Every structure is written in structure tokens, then in C-alpha cells.
Structure 1
Amino acid sequence: MKLRTYLRRPLLAALFAALPALAPAQEPATPATPPAGEASTEDADVESLGKAAARFVAAFNAKDAATIAGLFLPEGEMIGRDGETYQGREAIEARYKEIFEGEDVPQVALEASSVHLVAPGVAIEEGVVHFTVSDSEPVKSISYTATQVKQADGSWLIASTRDQLEVTPPSEHLKPLGGLVGEWTYEGDDGVRTEFAMDLDDSGNFLLGDAVATDEDGDIQTTSVRIGWNPATSSLFWWTFDSDGGNATGQWTRSGDGWLIRTSGITADAETNAATQKLSFDGEDTIVWSSTDRVLDGEHLPDIEVRFVRRAPDPDADPLAGTPEEPETK
């Protein structure tokens, strides 16, 4: 039997110790088939644990700290990923009140992977807690373990919960950059025209882009771009490679309604370069891209700002049609 609890999509940040929905790791071996219409003890326990999980989800999404605390044993504890421990119902209630008084309080959903009935009246649960603030923000996912103890009335109370690892898929981290998908154009006063297109790769874990810059003499430079989640820095990161042989990397950090990108790299001539860049959106169809603190081979360069405009699709183009063939000449 598997019981999964999906009650509303998740919300934000790693919360402390969330009560999971439950699912046995495998079908429990029962020594005898119960009489018709009578559920096995294991099935009844799983059903009761699932109801406890549903009560947690409902209480959290209603910002009801007192009800959440009541789901723990009087001496129960919850332990965050940083090791901070909250012991007893009073401390647990106070912690959840603090969370619910903050900004951007997430909604929560639980996805259980397993429950082990390790002894009569004792269950150890494992699963993932999801937190979400809005459809445009990443759904953060934290794995957990929880130990529950069966009460005389058949209900279960939490003895201890511990948050484990963040298991948010890389694709979720890219959500805030979804506005970059599309085709964009910039035409400068100096005769330089830049066009770039960006889209998700097949895995959904990276944004891939190609930029083509053409100067007034018709010389062309192309740059390939890859943006994705970098586990080493726990941040979005980009890697760029230009057709001359240069490359650069940089960490992306949220800044107000935009992003700061601290980029460094090397040219094909082995000259080091660095810049602090900022990307923001002016509506849905304009990207404002500024670059400051620009240094090339030790020389400081002037700041620049460009505005890319979304390129509208060609209304006369048939997206299903291939390249037209040249007419035959006789």
C-alpha cells in the first residue's frame, strides 16, 4: 500500500521539521489474511498516520501554530538542517508563530516515500516537504525523517523530526529566469547589432542561448551561453564561450527586481576580463542589461547599458514549413 498526500503546491524556504505524509517502503508481510471487511493493523496505522500528515498540512497553510505544536508529544522535538533544535510544544509553537509572522510565508505540501513500523507503536517516516511562494518562484524541497509514537486512542504524535537535505530539482531554480526564453534584438548607435535566442534544454535543467553580434563592417562574433544551478556555489551560474576562443563564468544573485552577475573570464588572446553586470526586465518585452566595473587586461573600461527588445515572430512564416527550395531555372 502507498499513501501519498498532495494537498496544495508547496512554498518557500527550508522550514523546520515538517510532518510528513506516509507510505510504506514495501508491502508489509502479514502473517494471516484479516477477515473480510476488517483492515489489518498495519493498514490502520498507515491510514492514521496519513490523517496526521493531512492535519499538519492544513494547519500550516492556515498558519495555525498551536495546532501544529499539538501534533507533537509534550516533550517532542524538531531539528532544522542547521542543527538548531526546538524542544517541547511551547518552543515548537513559538517557532512556527515566528515563521508565520514573516513575509512571503510559503504554502506546504508533503510527499512521503516510506514509513517503517520499527516496533509496536513506533513508526519512522521518510519523505520530502515542498515549499512554494508563487508560481514564478522555485518550489523548494527538503527531505526529512520523523519518528512518531502511537497513542492509546490509535492516533499518532511526533516524537522527533529532522530536516535533512535540500533536494530541489535544478529546473525549479530556473523559474525566475523564465522571462529570458525567446528571441531578442539590440541595435546600437555604433552600428553593432546583437541578436540572441534562449530556451530550456531537453532536461529542463539549463537555459541555453546563442548570441550573434555583427559590427558595422559585417564582422561577426557568436557566443554560446549556458545558465543553470551550480551545486558548488548553491546559486545560479552561467558559462559563456565565444567564437574567437574566449570564455567566462559568473554567479547570479537576486537583486531587487533583477539579477547581479559577477563575471570573469579570459579572451582568446589570454587577456583577463571581469565585470559586474545587472539584468532586469522592463515589462515582458524589454531586457535592460548594464555592465559596470569593467576591466580588460588591467585596463578599466567605461560602463555600458543596452536594451534588448523581444523579437516578434514573423507573421508570414509557417513554423511547420521547411526552407523553401530554389526554383529551377531552364
Structure 2
Amino acid sequence: MRALLALSLSVLVAGLPCGRAVADEQELNAAIGGYVKAFNDQDLDSVAAMWTEDATHIDRETGDRTEGRDAIRSDLAAVFEERPETRLSGQVDSVRMITPEVAKVEGRTIVGVPGEAPVESSFSAIAVKQDGKWMIDSIEEMPLPQPPTSYDALKQLDWLVGQWVDDSDQTRVDTTVRWSPNQAFLIRSFVASDDQGVSQQGTQVIGWDPRSQEIRSWTFNSDGSFGDGVWSQSGEDWLIKSSQTTAEGLAASGTYVLSRPDDETIQLQLIGHEIEGEPQPSTEVVTVVRQTPPADDGSADADASDTDTTPGSAIESGGVIR
């Protein structure tokens, strides 16, 4: 049993509705203060007395189930002996009165031990009022789900990593996609060249936005245009809803449909295209083909780090909506 159970009653009682009567409020406040003080003083008898005789504690992470006040008391004794510096805090997320003497409470707890990272869990508890006192009857504790890391969110796009070339007859677009250090971002850059030589270059950074919980991209081009996009999956395809500012200062928008017929091919089409609010025709489907990298002679890594590319015109023409 984790030390979290020791906090559960103090958090539990703190969240119970106290407006039924002044006496109830005073009792609950007294119970809160008494429980916290007893725990911090390692007053085992007082802490154990806050549990009902047949109380149950369940740890969903380990599968451990502790039944009865005596067994819970033994676990608390082990906590006090092994980790006397443990400090507890938490909050109640919801309280539902089942009857005037029974309440269901859900919330979160944090266990802090000096020199260690705090451990946060969620709990669901049943409190009962016996002989005029609120007590714990059962508690279930669960680890909080961990938010995905950038790599966790982006690894579904790992197939983009590599070197690509646009099959356009008019403009050749060479692209390389690579992971940033620590695999926090995918970096894609392109070089578009025509018969006159290089005509445009650009770099796109694809990352996970933990605040909005979505994949986003930011694009910067050598002609001064820039933009951003939001990525979402639709079946086997990816949709990139993009907004750009052109080199002329015009606002452009549209949605790219990114398809993957096989591991060696990418297809892209721009739909819903607008410039300054004026609808534009959808583009034809552009195909990009994976290129076999040259044999590693020691210079390939340096080249890749200097020229991070994306599937060029097939991947947002470097991000600019034309």
C-alpha cells in the first residue's frame, strides 16, 4: 500500500459538503485538522481510528487490496517507520451525497518525499458517518494517466523521415525529414529548383502542442512567407489545415490532404484553397517519391543536418499556399 492512503481521508473530508448544519461543518473541519495533525505527528492510533472497522483500500496500479482497519493500520505503521518524512497534499474534484450518511468523493493526491519526485494519483472514496463522525469506508487509488511526450505523439509520422523528391516536370523539389535532438520535433526543409537553378528554400518544424493536444507545424520560407498548420488523421490520410502569410502580405488558407499509398510514396493535394477570402481551384495531386540515400562517406550526416527538408511542393510547397 502506498503512502497515498494516509492522505485520502483528509482530502476526502475536506471536500464533503458542510452546509447541512453548522455542527456538521465544525465536525468536518475538526476531522480534517485532527487527521492531518495525527499523520504529521505519526500518531498511528488516531489515524487508524479514522477508518471504519471493515474499511477497504485498493491500489489499482499494483492490484493490492487491503481489508480491515487492522491491516490498514499495519500498512500505515510501515509508512511511518520507513518514510517518516513523507508529506501529503491533494484536492477534491467531485463530491456526491448518496445518502445523508454516505458520500462518494473523487480527487487527486500528491505524495512528497524530500529528494524524490512527487507522486500524483487519483482516488475514488466512500465516506460514511458513524456515531456522528465521518470515516473512510473504502478507497481506490489509481495512477494518473501521463500526458504523451512529443515523441509519443509524433512517432506515428516517423515514416516521413528520409529523403524525398517531387516528381513535378517543371520544378524539382528535394526534401529531407529528420528528427531534432531528443526527438522532440520533426524538421523538414526543402530546396526547389527550376531550369534557372535554386528558386526557393524553406524549413518546417512539426511538433506536439501539449496545451491544445494536437500536432502542429510552423513553416518559414526564403521568400519571406511563413505559416502554420494543424495536423489531424482521417482514416489512412492526414489533413493539414494551414494558414499562411505570403511574401506579398496576403492571407492564404487551405487544407492539404496527405496520403501514403506505400512506404515509398507520398501524395498531396490542396483543397479548400483561399487567398484573401477568395476561393481558388484545388491543386492536382502531387506525388513525392522516397530517394535511396547515397553510401555514407562521413559527409551525409553533416549534409542532412544543414538541409532538413520536407516533401517539398508535395508537402505544402514548403508550407506556402499558392
- The bucket for the TM-score relative to the shorter chain is 0.5 to 0.7
Pick the aligned partner of 2:183 from 201, 204, 228.
Answer: 204
Match of 2:232 in 1: 253
Match of 1:214 in 2: 193
1:271 is the counterpart of 2:271: no
Q: Give the direction of change, closer, same or farther, for the CA distance of 1:320–1:227 in structure 2 (3 Å limit).
A: closer
1:168 is the counterpart of 2:148: yes
Alpha-carbon shift at residue 160 of structure 1 (Å): 4.4
For 2:59 and 2:213, the matched residues in 1 are separated by 35
Q: Secondary structure at the match of 1:175?
A: helix
Match of 2:164 in 1: 184
Q: Give the direction of change, closer, same or farther, for the CA distance of 1:220–1:145 in structure 2 (3 Å limit).
A: same
For 1:286 and 1:210, the matched residues in 2 are separated by 18
Asked whether the 8 Å contact 2:272–2:279 carries over to 1, the reply is no
For 2:222 and 2:279, the matched residues in 1 are separated by 23
Match of 2:61 in 1: 53
Match of 2:132 in 1: none
For 1:308 and 1:146, the matched residues in 2 are separated by 51
Larger relative helix fraction? 2
Q: Give the direction of change, closer, same or farther, for the CA distance of 1:278–1:299 in structure 2 (3 Å limit).
A: closer
For 1:126 and 1:50, the matched residues in 2 are separated by 17
Which blocks of at least 5 consecutive residues in structure 1 are unaligned? Answer: 4-27, 32-48, 57-80, 88-111, 117-124, 128-143, 150-156, 324-330
Deviations 1:130-167 (A, max 9, x none): xxxxxxxxxxxxxx323789xxxxxxx95145786752
Matches within 5 A, 1:8-27: none
For 1:213 and 1:224, the matched residues in 2 are separated by 12
1:289 is the counterpart of 2:297: no
Instruction: Please tell me whether Structure 1 or Structure 2 has the larger radius of gyration of its CA atoms.
Output: 2
Match of 2:294 in 1: 314
Asked whether the 8 Å contact 1:245–1:267 carries over to 2, the reply is yes
Q: Secondary structure at the match of 1:168?
A: coil
Asked whether the 8 Å contact 1:249–1:265 carries over to 2, the reply is yes
Deviations 1:9-53 (A, max 9, x none): xxxxxxxxxxxxxxxxxxx99x9xxxxxxxxxxxxxxxxx89863
Matches within 5 A, 1:105-116: 114=111
Q: Give the direction of change, closer, same or farther, for the CA distance of 1:184–1:321 in structure 2 (3 Å limit).
A: closer
Aligned-residue sequence identity (percent) comes to: 24
Q: Secondary structure at the match of 1:178?
A: helix
- Give the partner amino acid of 2:191: V
For 2:245 and 2:227, the matched residues in 1 are separated by 6
Asked whether the 8 Å contact 1:293–1:303 carries over to 2, the reply is no
Match of 1:133 in 2: none
1:146 is the counterpart of 2:160: no
- Give the partner amino acid of 2:252: N
Asked whether the 8 Å contact 1:250–1:262 carries over to 2, the reply is yes
For 1:256 and 1:188, the matched residues in 2 are separated by 27
Asked whether the 8 Å contact 1:126–1:146 carries over to 2, the reply is no
Match of 1:225 in 2: 204
Match of 1:70 in 2: none
Give the number of equivalent residue pairs: 208
Match of 1:304 in 2: 284
Q: Please give the TM-score of this superposition, normalised by the length of structure 2.
A: 0.52
Alpha-carbon shift at residue 300 of structure 1 (Å): 1.2
For 1:301 and 1:241, the matched residues in 2 are separated by 24
Asked whether the 8 Å contact 2:59–2:142 carries over to 1, the reply is no
- Give the partner amino acid of 1:183: Q
- Give the partner amino acid of 2:178: D
Deviations 1:193-228 (A, max 9, x none): 111111111131111111111123324201100001
Which blocks of at least 5 consecutive residues in structure 2 are unaligned? Answer: 4-38, 43-56, 65-92, 99-108, 127-136, 303-322
- Give the partner amino acid of 1:202: P
For 1:52 and 1:185, the matched residues in 2 are separated by 51
- Give the partner amino acid of 1:264: S
For 1:257 and 1:318, the matched residues in 2 are separated by 37
For 1:320 and 1:219, the matched residues in 2 are separated by 22
Q: Give the direction of change, closer, same or farther, for the CA distance of 1:251–1:51 in structure 2 (3 Å limit).
A: closer
Q: Secondary structure at the match of 2:285?
A: strand
Q: Please give the TM-score of this superposition, normalised by the length of structure 1.
A: 0.51
- Give the partner amino acid of 2:61: A
Aligned CA-pair RMSD = 4.4
For 1:171 and 1:307, the matched residues in 2 are separated by 27
Asked whether the 8 Å contact 2:180–2:186 carries over to 1, the reply is yes
- Give the partner amino acid of 1:146: F
